[in-house]
Amino acid sequence: MSVASAIEPTDVLGPALRALPAAPATARVPAPQRPTLPVLPALASLLPGGELRRGMTVAVTGSTALALALLAGPSAAGSWCAVVGVPTLGARAAAELGVRLDRLALIPSPGAQWAAAVAALFDGVDVIAVRPPGRVSGGEARRLAARARERGATLVPLGPWEGAELRLSVSDSQWNGLAAGTGRLHARRLEVSANGRGAAAKPRHAALWLPDGDGGVSAATDLPADLPRLHRAERRRSRAINTSVAG
Amino acid sequence: MPGAVRTIVVWCPDWPVTAAVLAGTAPAGAPVAVLAAGQVMASSAAARSEGVRRGLRRREAQSRCPDLVVLSHDPDTEARLFEPVVRAVEACCAGIEVLRPGLVATAARGPARYYGGETVVLDRLRAACPVPCVVAVADGVFAATLAAQCLPPLRRSADSGPVQSAHAVVPAGGSADFLAPQPIDALGRPELAVLLHRLGLSTLGAFGALSTRDVSTRFGADGALAHRLARGLDARPLAARRPPPELTVGTVFDPPVDRVDTAAFAARALATRFHELLTARGLGCLRLAIVARTEHGQELIRCWRHEGALSATAVADRVRWQLDGWLTAASGPTAGITELRLIPDQVIPHAGQQLGLWGGTGDADDRADRALVRVQGMLGPDAVCTAVPAGGRGAADQLQLVPWGEPRVADRDPDHPWPGRIPAPSPATVLTAAVAVHVSDAAGTPVTVDGRGVLTTPPARLGLADRVEEVAAVTAWAGPWPVDERWWDAATAGRRARFQVVTADGTARLLAISGGRWWVEAVYD
């Protein structure tokens, strides 16, 4: 080994070492938070500016999988996520959609202290999906949203939430792959509409494959086929089954 | 080499059997044999009276005593259950050595002078020992052990009638005379014993009479050691055990504390003291029990677990969070806290934490960990979980919730094949309690699956079991996918057939039929 290479180890190891982050001493200082969290590309068209802002409150109604897909982007980029108050969560579906299970905390039954638990989680968890056990008063919802803004975390209430900046709701859902007695569930086409206030005031609409044939999420680019209009009474009956299932 | 030290031996006969009775794996008084490597290593008195002997094979022992309870040797349990005996002996005599579970030795001179006589010490030990035991004193461990074992077996039966203990005394300087008539097999060296028998030396006295030089030339170091034992000399001095150090720390509050900040202030000092006590011994704490006692005598206990060893700040934080949770909860203590104790429940040698070269455990991970542990302090340690993929066929079986801080390991391996498992995509809602539904065909007759796993008629309507009039039309379905799980175990056996069903509103559900009744197991929402 020549003297020169011994003095300049970076040249011996090549440019890879120079590309590494600065000395570990500086890594101790908390890095300034980026103002946004990455989301899956298919969901970008639903969010104002195409990204999930920290401190935002995004209420999701009609689909648990849609909320999990919202968690998948930040989780894959290294953020911590938590799901509070959902004992029925199918975490395997979350893993299939891209949520890292080793960075997902579950608090299935927080009971009456759910709001205190969510407030404590804001200190260290970036995205928190929560299904409150009962009706949430406007004051409580505002307090939690303010706390989320202050801590730079994103709150994803499952169900209606007063004062949410963005509301994602499912207007239609069609499963593919199943026929009369054959096949298996394969992919689902989901029509999602987004409306809100402020920057998100403009209503948006997107068609998603959630999951698509490979288990991920992708945008449904084709125009919606002439879907059979359902009889209103049938929709109502099926909804009755759903509500009693959720209860 | 030392001469023979006057030694007291406490021997619990048939300790493997006694331990099994104490552990509840064997009935007291029944013929019991404990097997190691396929051979009987210990047996109860009832088994011995039927002719079961040490060294017999399992078949032969069972043929001699057909209702023999056969157990396998469990060294861990035996050692663990022996600990109370060790503590009882240690309370009488300082400096003891546990030779093996069931056998403890201690030097006799100190206790004999303190209590005033060897027989007084022996009586005290017999009275203190929580299980039947034999106590003997002689010059040297070997002679004392042999003296204990030579007592008549009837008087030391451990498992019949009331507790009987006995003692034997070999007078000072009399060990050589006591050992001389003993058979050569007592040395516990079978190969050497066979050889010496063939040389015509059948007693320890005859072997001990040989010259030391001849024995070590012919039989080597081990033979020389056996020769020393046969002459009543000790092989080595007693290695006295040190009593384990007291690691619990505590503090008493006077007046009682009912404010979180006051308690937290005291907790910080306590945590620092606790941590210094552990680090001074090079130990780290994996599990910590925090105990608080209130003025009304309520005791509040919670265990904390941490995969890495807990630091002083981590301990202080946990104490504070826990007190915070207690003192502010509606069902909190009825009076102020008067005493706080930290008990290390699981302690390991702390080899230091190796940090990654570039940060390793990141800042974000630390923050998340602190936030989650804080929630555990509010809601209880089991309230915060992480999900681990597990092996299984149903939607609920394929996942296991592990409390935060515990190792992320599933009981069932997810990489095994699990034929018949629910295919991906998985349902996003897995019901914790299945909901009863009814499924009927177009004519309204209930749909079932016959014994061969064939559907009677195609399903057309789905409704809640208790509201028959409200039904949703089934637009697509697949199944039945029959599963017959754990048929060998009646408690957990399950025989069902699963279906995927899509109703007219576009909702897909996972249904199961079991025993003629339909259930919703999960919803693909």
> What is the residue-wise DSSP string for B118-138?
HHHHHHHHHHH-SS--EEEEE
Whether B143 contacts B11, CB under 8 Å: no
Residue where one domain finishes, among candidates B289, B322, B349? B349
Distance from CA of A177 to the nearest CA of B (A): 9
> Which residues of chain A does B368 touch, with a Cβ-Cβ cutoff of 8 Å?
80, 103, 105, 124-125
Whether A167 contacts A141, CB under 8 Å: no
Report pLDDT for B154.
43
Residue B26 pLDDT greater than 90, yes or no: no
> Which residues of chain B does A128 touch, with a Cβ-Cβ cutoff of 8 Å?
none
Calculate ∠ Cα B47-B53-B58, nearest 5°: 85
Per the listing, tokens 């009039």 go with: B469
Q: Both B272 and B224 in a single domain?
A: no
- A-B CB pairs within 8 A amount to 209
Which of B119, B121, B127 lies closest to B164, judged by CA?
A: B127
Q: Return phi, psi of residue B255, to 5°.
A: -75, 160
Q: What element of type H or E holds A244? A: helix A232-246
Reading the block at residue B333, the tokens are 């203590």
Q: Both B215 and B264 in a single domain?
A: no
Q: Both B212 and B155 in a single domain?
A: no
Which of B77, B92, B76 lies closest to B129, judged by CA?
A: B92
Q: HSE on the CB side for B123, CA within 13 Å?
A: 6
Longest dimension (CA), chain B: 105
Which of B253, B331, B266 lies closest to B295, judged by CA?
A: B253
Any chain A CB within 8 A of the CB of B79?
Answer: no
Q: HSE on the CB side for A167, CA within 13 Å?
A: 16
Least confident of A60-64, A182-186, B308-312: B308-312
The answer to whether position B379 is within a domain reads no
Q: Per the omega criterion (within 30 degrees of 0), is the bond before B132 cis? A: no
Reading the block at residue B290, the tokens are 């925090």
> What is the total residue count of chain B?
525
Who contacts B151 (Cβ-Cβ below 8 Å, separation ≥6)?
B134, B136, B166, B168
Instruction: pLDDT band for B454, please (50, 70, 90 cuts).
Output: confident
Any chain B CB within 8 A of the CB of A211?
Answer: yes
% helix, strand, coil for chain B, step of 5: 30, 30, 40
Calculate ∠ Cα B283-B250-B406, nearest 5°: 50
Distance CA A73, CA A39 (A): 4
Q: What element of type H or E holds B353? A: none
Distance CA A169, CA A67 (A): 10
Bigger pLDDT: A35 vs B362 = A35
CA separation, residue B223 to residues B208, B211, B215, B228, B231 (Å): 11, 12, 7, 9, 12
Whether B123 contacts B167, CB under 8 Å: yes
The answer to whether position B366 is within a domain reads no
How many other C-beta atoms lie within 10 A of the C-beta of residue B353? 11
The answer to whether position B20 is within a domain reads yes
CATH of the domain at B261: 3.30.1490.100
Cβ under 8 Å to B: A residues 137-166: none
The H helix count followed by the E strand count for chain B is 14, 20
Q: Both B14 and B122 in a single domain?
A: yes
Report pLDDT for B358.
56
Query: Helix or strand or coil: residue B379?
Result: helix
Residue B170 pLDDT greater than 70, yes or no: yes
Span A48-74, mean pLDDT? 91
The answer to whether position B458 is within a domain reads yes
Reading the block at residue A230, the tokens are 């359902």
Reading the block at residue B104, the tokens are 């403890």
Instruction: pLDDT band for A7, please (50, 70, 90 cuts).
Output: very low
The answer to whether position B460 is within a domain reads yes
Q: Both B203 and B300 in a single domain?
A: no
Provide the edge-to-edge strand list for the sheet that holds B6-11. Answer: B96-100, B103-107, B6-11, B134-139, B166-169
Distance CA B75, CA B79 (A): 6
| Interchain pair B464, A240: CB under 8 A | yes
Report pLDDT for B157.
44
Distance CA A189, CA B503 (A): 15
Residue A118 pLDDT greater than 90, yes or no: yes
Using CB atoms, pick whichever of B364, B425, B503 lies closest to residue A185. B425
Residue B397 pLDDT greater than 90, yes or no: no
Q: Both B161 and B200 in a single domain?
A: no
Residue B249: beta bridge partners? B342
Any chain B CB within 8 A of the CB of A185?
Answer: yes
Calculate ∠ Cα A214-A218-A220, nearest 5°: 115
Distance CA A100, CA B81 (A): 44
Which of A92, A163, A103 lies closest to B422, judged by CA?
A: A92
DSSP state letter for A217: -
Residue B502: beta bridge partners? B476, B508
Q: What total of structural domains would you count in chain B?
A: 4
| Interchain pair A175, B508: CB under 8 A | yes
The answer to whether position B500 is within a domain reads yes
Who contacts B302 (Cβ-Cβ below 8 Å, separation ≥6)?
B289, B290, B322, B380, B381
Reading the block at residue B117, the tokens are 């006589």
Note the pTM of the prediction, 2 decimals. 0.61
Report pLDDT for A154.
93
Please state the ipTM of this predicted complex. 0.77
Distance CA B463, CA B438 (A): 5
> What is the total residue count of chain A?
247
Q: Both B303 and B433 in a single domain?
A: no
Report pLDDT for B382.
82
Q: Which domain holds residue B449?
A: 429-524
| Interchain pair A241, B524: CB under 8 A | no
Nearest CA in chain A to B433: A88
Any chain B CB within 8 A of the CB of A22?
Answer: no
Using CB atoms, pick whichever of A120, A174, A244 lies closest to residue B378. A120
The answer to whether position B70 is within a domain reads yes
Report pLDDT for A10.
40
Distance CA B31, CA B240 (A): 36
Q: Both B21 and B109 in a single domain?
A: yes
> Which residues of chain B does A82 touch, with a Cβ-Cβ cutoff of 8 Å?
372
Distance CA B133, CA B105 (A): 13
CATH of the domain at B44: 3.40.1170.60
Q: Both B13 and B138 in a single domain?
A: yes
Any chain A CB within 8 A of the CB of B400?
Answer: no
Instruction: pLDDT band for A100, please (50, 70, 90 cuts).
Output: very high
CA separation, residue B45 to residues B18, B48, B49 (Å): 11, 5, 6
Q: For testing the chain B interface, which of A88, A191, A209 should be mutated: the one with the most B CBs within 10 Å?
A: A88
Mean pLDDT value across chain B:
83
Longest dimension (CA), chain A: 85
Who contacts A68 (Cβ-Cβ below 8 Å, separation ≥6)?
A93, A94, A97, A99, A129, B428
Q: What element of type H or E holds B277? A: helix B260-280
Instruction: pLDDT band for A131, please (50, 70, 90 cuts).
Output: very high
Who contacts B352 (Cβ-Cβ below 8 Å, separation ≥6)?
none
| Interchain pair A184, B478: CB under 8 A | yes
| Interchain pair B476, A93: CB under 8 A | no
| Interchain pair A90, B426: CB under 8 A | yes
Reading the block at residue B120, the tokens are 């007084």
Report pLDDT for B356.
55
Distance CA B274, CA B283 (A): 11
Nearest CA in chain A to B402: A106
Reading the block at residue B387, the tokens are 């999900």
CA separation, residue B521 to residues A90, A134, B430, B509 (Å): 11, 24, 6, 8
Q: Return phi, psi of residue B83, to 5°.
A: -55, -45
Which pairs count as long-range contacts for B295-300, CB under 8 Å and 24+ apart, including other chains?
B295/B256, B295/B335, B295/B336, B295/B337, B295/B338, B296/B333, B296/B334, B296/B335, B298/B333, B298/B334, B298/B335, B300/B326, B300/B333
Which of B374, B520, B512, B507 lies closest to A88, judged by CA?
A: B520
Report pLDDT for B55.
83
The answer to whether position B210 is within a domain reads yes
Instruction: pLDDT band for B162, please (50, 70, 90 cuts).
Output: very low
| Interchain pair B387, A101: CB under 8 A | yes
Q: Return phi, psi of residue A92, to 5°.
A: -65, -35
Report pLDDT for B56.
86
Residues B409, A39, A64, A188, Cα dihedral to 10°: -110
Query: Helix or strand or coil: residue B281?
Result: coil
Q: Both B339 and B257 in a single domain?
A: yes
Q: Both B273 and B164 in a single domain?
A: no
Bigger pLDDT: A165 vs A231 = A165
Report pLDDT for B244.
72
Whether B458 contacts B489, CB under 8 Å: no
Instruction: pLDDT band for A234, please (50, 70, 90 cuts).
Output: low
Q: Both B278 and B333 in a single domain?
A: yes
> Which residues of chain B does A122 touch, with a Cβ-Cβ cutoff of 8 Å?
371
Report pLDDT for A241.
61
Report pLDDT for B198.
92
Question: How does pLDDT run across A169-206, given as a tens digit for each residue?
Answer: 999 899 988 888 888 898 999 999 998 888 788 888 89
Distance from CA of A178 to the nearest CA of B (A): 6
Using CB atoms, pick whichever of A80, A104, A238 lies closest to residue B505. A238
Span B420-440, mean pLDDT? 89
